[in-house]
């Protein structure tokens, strides 16, 4: 087996902005409301996350208090900002000190640009649930514009609005991890082929612990562009429910009018969702055997462990 590919991910932003909360929900199975009990992060908390067979993430959750930042930017500058694959910077939309938020952001960007010029940057405008729904879009656009205007031309920066209380969290993080998964193009071409052969409307591949989407193939277009993050959120919530009875979620079959939705573990680290509205395909045994074949095929290609 090939040696694991480890990628360094920096998680930064001011104290209380929600970094640890998000990380705990996505990677450590916290419930949104359990995050109220988290205490401020002191210095850097390192965590090693195994994501898919061969891809390992090294998350550096950097405590956000001003003193720590002085330290990161001065004494530890090289250690922190060297060989960064990805920076996730979090803004608290309700923050009262926008001025210093931005100056810290500018310092971080400068340091990343200097030490890891190839890094990608994702900016999460967080706690959007605290903004009234009718103005969320406008508030976010404004914030996004001022963030992008701060940034240099060299780094690739993308902004998302997030909240731990809805699926926006999964939208942003799916995007982020998707950018880290190698071979997605090949994976998707296999998935597309499979989708066509077995007459599915849609086939989606999830990483099993986070339930983030890593690839999908869509044969019959669907109008809801946010459906994947909704599914991630829904299944993740249910996985937590299963944990309360000391069990893991292994699979689900939904037969609803003309819909059949099948969730099954595909490999050790992935799960597959199969959607079909074709009444001729309503035989679950058939679908299951298709899934088994596809699993074998992926194994042969060595695509995911």
Partner 1 sequence: MYANLERWPATPSEGDNERAERAPRIVLMGSRRSGKTSMARVVFGKMSPHETLFVPSTAQPTLRLVANSDLVHFSIFDVPGDRDLSELRWRDAQMTPRDLFGRCVVLAYVVDAEADPYSECARLAEVAAAAKAANPRVQLEVFVHKVDGDHFLSEEQKLDCRREVEACARAELAELYAHGSDETVDPQQAQAYADDCLAGAAFSLTSIYDHSVFEAFSKLVSRALVPQRIVLRKMLDALVTACDMEKSFLFDVASKVYVATDSAPVDSASYELCADAIDVVLDVASIYAPDKTQQPEPSEEDTPVREEEPKQTRSNAASIQLSNGMALVLDEVDRNLALVCLLRTENLEKRDLIDYNLGCFRTALARLAALNASSAGK
Ligand X SMILES: Nc1nc2c(ncn2[C@@H]2O[C@H](COP(=O)(O)OP(=O)(O)OP(=O)(O)O)[C@@H](O)[C@H]2O)c(=O)[nH]1
Residues interacting with ligand X, by CB under 6 A? Answer: 13, 15-21, 35-36, 38, 40-41, 63-64, 126-127, 129-130, 163-165
Considering beta carbons, is residue 71 or 267 the nearer one to partner 1?
267
Does 289 bind partner 1 (CB under 8 A)? Our answer is no
The option from ligand X, partner 1, none interacting with 286 (CB < 5 to 8 A, set by class) reads: none
Does 218 bind partner 1 (CB under 8 A)? Our answer is no
CB–CB of 97/190 below 8 Å?
A: no
DSSP string, 31-80: -GGGGGG--PPPSEEEEEEEETTTEEEEEEEE---HHHHHHHHTTTHHHH
CB–CB of 272/264 below 8 Å?
A: yes
Considering beta carbons, is residue 25 or 111 the nearer one to partner 1?
25
Contacts for 74 with CB less than 8 Å, ≥ 6 apart: none
Total binding residues toward partner 1, as defined by CB under 8 A:
32
* Among candidate residues 212, 210, 213, the one with its CA nearest the CA of residue 202: 213
Does 132 bind partner 1 (CB under 8 A)? Our answer is no
- The dihedral of CA 186, 191, 196, 201: what is its sign? negative
Considering beta carbons, is residue 149 or 246 the nearer one to partner 1?
246
Does 251 bind partner 1 (CB under 8 A)? Our answer is yes
Tell me the C-alpha distance between 205 and 214, whole Å. 6
Exposed, middle or buried, 264 (CB in 10 Å: 0-12/13-18/19+)? middle
Does 133 bind partner 1 (CB under 8 A)? Our answer is no
The option from ligand X, partner 1, none interacting with 10 (CB < 5 to 8 A, set by class) reads: none
Stretch that binds partner 1, among 52-60, 64-72, 84-92, 250-258 (CB under 8 A): 250-258
Considering beta carbons, is residue 44 or 215 the nearer one to ligand X?
44
Rounded to a whole number of angstroms, the minimum distance from the CB of residue 37 to partner 1 is 10
**Helix or strand (DSSP H, E) at 109:** helix 98-115
Tokens of 239: 């996985």
**Helix or strand (DSSP H, E) at 290:** helix 284-301
Rounded to a whole number of angstroms, the minimum distance from the CB of residue 240 to partner 1 is 9
The option from partner 1, ligand X, none interacting with 227 (CB < 5 to 8 A, set by class) reads: partner 1
**What pairing do the DSSP bridges indicate for beta strands 270-276 and 259-267?**
antiparallel
Residues that bind partner 1 (CB under 8 A): 33, 201, 222, 224, 227, 230-231, 234-235, 237-238, 241-242, 244-259, 261, 275, 277
């Amino acid at each position: 087996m090939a040696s694991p590919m480890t990628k360094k991910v920096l998680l930064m932003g001011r104290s209380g902005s929600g970094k640890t909360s998000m990380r705990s929900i996505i990677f450590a199975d916290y419930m949104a409301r359990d995050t109220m009990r988290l205490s401020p992060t002191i210095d850097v908390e390192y965590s090693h996350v195994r994501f898919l067979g061969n891809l390992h993430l090294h998350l550096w959750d950097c405590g956000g208090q001003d003193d720590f930042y002085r330290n990161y930017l001065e004494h530890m500058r090289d250690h922190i900002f060297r060989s960064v694959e990805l920076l996730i910077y979090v803004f608290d939309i309700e923050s009262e000190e926008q001025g210093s938020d931005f100056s810290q952001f500018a310092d971080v960007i400068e340091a990343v640009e200097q030490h890891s010029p190839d890094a990608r940057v994702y900016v999460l405008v967080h706690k959007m649930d605290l903004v009234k729904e009718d103005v969320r879009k406008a508030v976010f656009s404004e914030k996004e514009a001022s963030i992008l205007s701060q940034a240099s031309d060299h780094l690739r920066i993308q902004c998302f609005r997030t909240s731990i209380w809805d699926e926006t969290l999964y939208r942003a993080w799916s995007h982020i991890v998707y950018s880290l998964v190698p071979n997605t193009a090949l994976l998707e071409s296999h998935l597309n082929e499979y989708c066509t052969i077995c007459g599915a409307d849609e086939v989606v591949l999830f990483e099993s612990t986070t339930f983030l989407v890593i690839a999908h193939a869509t044969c019959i277009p669907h109008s809801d562009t946010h459906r994947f993050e909704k599914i991630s959120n829904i299944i993740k919530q249910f996985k937590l429910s299963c944990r309360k009875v000391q069990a893991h979620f292994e699979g689900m079959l939904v037969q609803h009018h003309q819909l059949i939705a099948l969730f099954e573990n595909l490999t050790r680290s992935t799960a597959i969702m199969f959607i079909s509205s074709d009444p001729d395909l309503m035989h679950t045994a058939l679908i299951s055997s298709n899934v088994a074949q596809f699993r074998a095929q992926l194994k042969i290609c060595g695509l995911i462990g």
